[in-house]
A and B are shown apart, each in its own frame.
Chain A
Amino acid sequence: MRFIVKQNGCGSERIGRLTGFFKFPGAVIETPTSALFTQGGSVVHLTSDVLSRVFSSPKLLWVPLSNSIQLENGVKVQNDGVAKFAGLPGHVACATLNNLSEVTPSGHFEPNKVPLWTKNGKKMLSANRYMDVMEVFKPDIILAIADGRTALNEGSKRVSKAVNRTSQMLNECVDRYKAAKELQNSTLVGVIVGAANPKKIDECVQNVLKHVDTLGGIALEGITDGTVESMDLNIKTLNEVFEKVGNAIPKNLFHIIEGCWNPTVILSAIEYGWDVFDGSYPVKLTNAGIALKLSFDVTKDNDTMYLLDMVDQRYKEDFTPILEDCECLACKKHTRAYIRHLLNTREMLASVLLSIHNLHHFDQMFFYIRKHIASNTFAIFKQHITKQCEMLKTFAPDRYKGLNEAIDKQTFQKNKKIRVSEVLSSGLVSNNCT
Chain B
Amino acid sequence: MGGTSKALSFTVQSECPTSRARAGIMKLPHYNVKTPVFMPVGTQGTMKGLLPDQLENLDCEIILGNTYHLGNRPGVDVLKKAGGLHKFMNWKRALLTDSGGFQMVSLLKLAEITEEGVKFRSPYDNSEIMLTPEKSIEIQNYIGADIIMQLDDVVQTTFQDYDRIKVATERTSRWLDRCLKAHKRPDDQNIFPIVQGLLNPELRRQSAQEHMTKDVNGFAIGGLSGGEAKDDFWPMVSLGTKILDKHKPRYLMGVGLAIDLVVCVALGVDMFDCVFPTRTARFGCALVNKGQLNLKQKQYQTDLNPIDKNCDCATCENYTRAYLHCIVSVETVACHLISVHNIAFQMRLMRTMRENIENGTFPKFVKDFFCEVYPDNNFPNWIVNSLHSVGINIINT
A residues lining the B interface (CB < 8 Å): 39-50, 53, 70-71, 73-74, 77-78, 85-87, 119, 316-317, 319, 329, 333-335, 337-338, 341-342, 344-345, 347-349, 351-353, 406-411
Contact = CB atoms under 8 A, between A and B. Distances in A.
A319 B81 CA distance: 9
Contacts of B124: 407-408, 410-411
Given A46-B333, A48-B314, A85-B320, A352 B51 contact: yes
Given A77-B302, A344-B73, A352-B51, A119 B330 contact: yes
29 contacts: A39-B331, A40-B326, A40-B331, A40-B333, A46-B333, A47-B314, A47-B318, A50-B51, A74-B302, A74-B325, A74-B326, A77-B322, A316-B74, A317-B77, A333-B53, A333-B90, A338-B45, A341-B74, A342-B44, A342-B45, A344-B73, A344-B74, A348-B48, A349-B46, A349-B49, A349-B50, A349-B51, A353-B51, A408-B72
A70 B78 contact: no
Given A337-B78, A338-B88, A348 B304 contact: no
Contacts of B48: 347-349
A78 B322 contact: yes
Contacts of A85: 320, 322-323
Given A47-B333, A49-B318, A411-B124, A71 B323 contact: yes
A341 B320 contact: no
Q: Name which of B326, B327, B335 has the most chain A CB atoms within 10 A of its CB.
A: B326
B336 interface: yes
B125 A409 contact: yes
B326 A71 contact: yes
Nearest to A346: B44
A47 B340 contact: yes
B74 A337 contact: yes
Contacts of A87: 318-319, 323
Q: Name which of A49, A78, A345, A352 has the most chain B CB atoms within 10 A of its CB.
A: A49
B80 to A, nearest CB: 10
Nearest to B77: A317
Interface string B265-303: 000000000000000000000000000000000000110
Q: Name which of A46, A73, A335, A345 has the most chain B CB atoms within 10 A of its CB.
A: A345
A168 to B, nearest CB: 32
Interface string B81-94: 11000001110000
Contact of B52 (A47, A86, A333): A333
Contacts of A317: 77-78, 81
Contacts of B304: 74, 77-78
Given A73-B322, A351-B49, A353-B51, 11 more contacts: A40-B326, A43-B333, A47-B333, A47-B337, A74-B320, A78-B320, A319-B82, A338-B89, A341-B44, A341-B78, A349-B46
A50 B330 contact: no
A46 B48 CA distance: 13
Interface of B: 44-54, 69, 72-75, 77-78, 81-82, 88-90, 124-125, 301-302, 304, 314-315, 318-320, 322-323, 325-327, 330-333, 335-337, 340
Nearest to B282: A348
A52 to B, nearest CB: 9
A329 B53 contact: yes
A74 B74 CA distance: 42
B301 to A, nearest CB: 6
Given A85-B320, A409-B125, A341 B333 contact: no
Given A40-B326, A40-B330, A411-B124, A345 B49 contact: no
Contacts of A341: 44-45, 73-74, 78, 88
A42 B327 contact: yes
A417 to B, nearest CB: 18
A316 B76 CA distance: 12
A337 B82 contact: yes
Q: Name which of B51, B320, B325, B333 has the most chain A CB atoms within 10 A of its CB.
A: B333
Contacts of B315: 47
9 residue pairs, one from A and one from B, having the closest CB atoms? A348-B49, A74-B322, A49-B314, A87-B318, A42-B333, A341-B74, A77-B302, A40-B327, A349-B46
